[in-house]
């Protein structure tokens, strides 16, 4: 529940970050589209101004180089005349040389007839100019944009053909400044803006690609950060859970230890009286009935019960180590010598391997001896038909490494996690405190203990005790 509560705020932050990134990406794309629209609009406006300047310049050149000379020479303008037609074509082409103009068409004032055009097929056609022609006749220059493309190009606004057509009045220039002369026709100028629009499209495309790359890069980094954050939160949640479990376990063991210590003290006093009474009874019965085993049984069971109570007290109130310089190999040999009779009776051999020049450690030799004794007794009990116990002692930067391996039946995998639980045992006799006490002793020396199943069988116990 607590883990879920901790993750929820982080998930809100994650979803908010991703949502913000998506909104930001959409907003930037929208701004890019608006920016492109503004660029197109600005370009179209400049093209209109450019076209009006061309029309004004063309109007001036036609008046100076064509209307005046032709009127003086011929008296009137007749574009059907080959010389006049050639002259107006030369004037228009020389005037527009270097300008981006695809076609120029001149309409008369009557019947909307085309009098001149770069395209000779249009000459003489009527009613081609449309509404723009009539606006120009009224003195209002206009432009219109003609765009062509397939369905997809039209849908996304990327037309392959973009042409602007400008209609401007053709006037006789008035020599008086500030006044305009009469309109004698209409000039139509057609410009191809496809290259300009293509450049705008390329700019927009590159901008979108760059923004997409940047946003996806940020998105990728955000995913990495989020995953790292989730991993850290999960690890911290696991650590917190483990700590809480350890705390609950410690509290449970503390309560259990206090109860066990109180009961053990209460049992030990009458147990001492029972043992003493049994020893006196044994002496008295020896004179009457030497073969009576009852007093001896009472004494043996009293000793066994006392050992159990001692284990309880060692578990309930572990004592603080009295650190003194000592040698691990000597403690191992002392333990094996103590168990030599049991080893011989069970048909178990102990094989010791150790590296030379093992450093001494600062430890409580009696407590370490008790830990080794508990581990070896477990190994002996796991091999009722005999076998070997291997003891390997090495040293490295971590400290002294002691490995015990036996040839017993091993520990079932489902029970391996329970071996450190107090009072857990698979034996008919025993308190289930031997390994727990050994673990407490090793950890009291800032060491580590690890138990795994051996290969191919048996149990492997690794103990690491730091060198101080």
Q: Convert the pLDDT of each residue in 136-160 to its tens digit.
A: 888 889 988 888 877 766 666 667 7
The residue among 296, 374, 309 whose CA lies nearest residue 339 is: 374
Question: Which residues sit opposite 188 in a β-bridge?
Answer: 105, 167
Q: According to the model, what pLDDT value does residue 5 have?
A: 46
Q: How many CB atoms lie under 10 A from the CB of residue 386?
A: 13
What residue ranges define each of the domains in the chain, with the CATH number in brackets? 2-192 (3.30.450.20), 321-465 (3.30.565.10)
Q: According to the model, what pLDDT value does residue 429 have?
A: 62
H or E segment and range at residue 165: strand 161-171
Below-50 pLDDT ranges, the chain: 1-7
Long-range CB pairs of 128-137, under 8 A, 24+ apart, other chains included: 129/167, 129/186, 129/188, 132/165, 132/167, 133/107, 133/167, 133/186, 133/188, 135/167, 136/167, 136/168, 136/169, 136/183, 136/186, 136/187, 137/109, 137/169, 137/183, 137/186
Q: According to the model, what pLDDT value does residue 4 have?
A: 47
Q: According to the model, what pLDDT value does residue 3 have?
A: 45
pTM confidence score? 0.45
Taking each helix axis from N to C end, the angle separating 434-444 and 294-316, rounded to the nearest 10 degrees, works out to 40
Q: According to the model, what pLDDT value does residue 36 have?
A: 75
Q: According to the model, what pLDDT value does residue 432 have?
A: 63
Measured CA to CA, the distance from residue 70 to residue 84 in angstroms comes to: 7
pLDDT tens figures, 374-405? 888 888 888 888 888 899 998 888 888 999 98
Measured CA to CA, the distance from residue 64 to residue 74 in angstroms comes to: 15
Q: According to the model, what pLDDT value does residue 245 have?
A: 82
């Amino acid at each position: 529940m607590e883990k879920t509560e901790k993750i929820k705020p982080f998930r809100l932050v994650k979803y908010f970050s991703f949502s913000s990134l998506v909104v930001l990406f959409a907003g930037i794309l929208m701004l890019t589209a608006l920016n492109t629209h503004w660029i197109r609009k600005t370009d179209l406006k400049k093209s209109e101004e450019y076209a009006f300047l061309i029309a004004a310049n063309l109007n001036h050149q036609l008046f100076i180089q064509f209307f005046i000379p032709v009127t003086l020479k011929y008296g009137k303008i007749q574009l059907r005349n080959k010389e006049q037609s050639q002259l107006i074509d030369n004037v228009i082409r020389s005037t527009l040389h270097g300008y981006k103009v695809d076609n120029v068409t001149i309409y008369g004032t009557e019947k909307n007839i085309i009098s001149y055009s770069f395209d000779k097929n249009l000459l003489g056609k009527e009613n081609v100019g449309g509404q723009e022609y009539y606006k120009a006749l009224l003195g209002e220059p206009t432009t219109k944009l003609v765009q062509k493309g397939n369905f997809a190009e039209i849908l996304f606004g990327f037309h392959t053909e973009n042409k602007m057509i400008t209609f401007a009045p053709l006037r006789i220039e008035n020599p008086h400044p500030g006044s305009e002369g009469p309109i004698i026709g209409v000039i139509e100028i057609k410009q191809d803006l496809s290259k300009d629009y293509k450049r705008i499209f390329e700019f927009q495309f590159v901008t979108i690609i760059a923004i997409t790359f940047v946003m996806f890069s940020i998105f990728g980094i955000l995913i990495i950060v989020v995953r790292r954050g989730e991993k850290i939160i999960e690890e911290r949640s696991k650590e917190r859970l483990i700590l809480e479990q350890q705390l609950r376990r410690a509290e449970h063991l503390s309560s259990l230890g206090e109860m066990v210590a109180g009961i053990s003290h209460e049992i030990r006093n009458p147990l001492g009286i029972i043992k003493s009474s049994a020893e006196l009874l044994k002496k008295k019965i020896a004179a009457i009935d030497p073969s009576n085993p009852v007093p001896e049984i009472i004494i043996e069971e009293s000793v066994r019960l006392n050992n159990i109570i001692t284990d309880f007290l060692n578990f309930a109130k572990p004592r603080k180590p009295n650190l003194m310089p000592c040698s691990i190999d000597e403690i191992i040999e002392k333990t094996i010598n103590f168990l030599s009779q049991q080893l011989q009776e069970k048909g178990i051999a102990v094989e010791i391997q150790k590296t030379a020049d093992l450093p001494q450690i600062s430890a409580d030799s009696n407590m370490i001896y008790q830990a080794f004794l508990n581990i070896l007794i477990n190994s002996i009990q796991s091999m009722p038909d005999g076998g070997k116990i291997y003891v390997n002692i090495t040293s490295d930067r971590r400290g002294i490494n002691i490995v015990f391996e036996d040839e017993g039946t091993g520990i079932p995998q489902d029970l391996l996690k329970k071996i450190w639980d107090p009072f857990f045992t698979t034996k008919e006799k025993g308190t289930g405190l031997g390994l727990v006490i050994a673990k407490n002793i090793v950890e009291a020396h800032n060491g580590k203990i690890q138990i795994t199943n051996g290969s191919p069988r048996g149990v492997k116990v690794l103990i690491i005790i730091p060198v101080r």
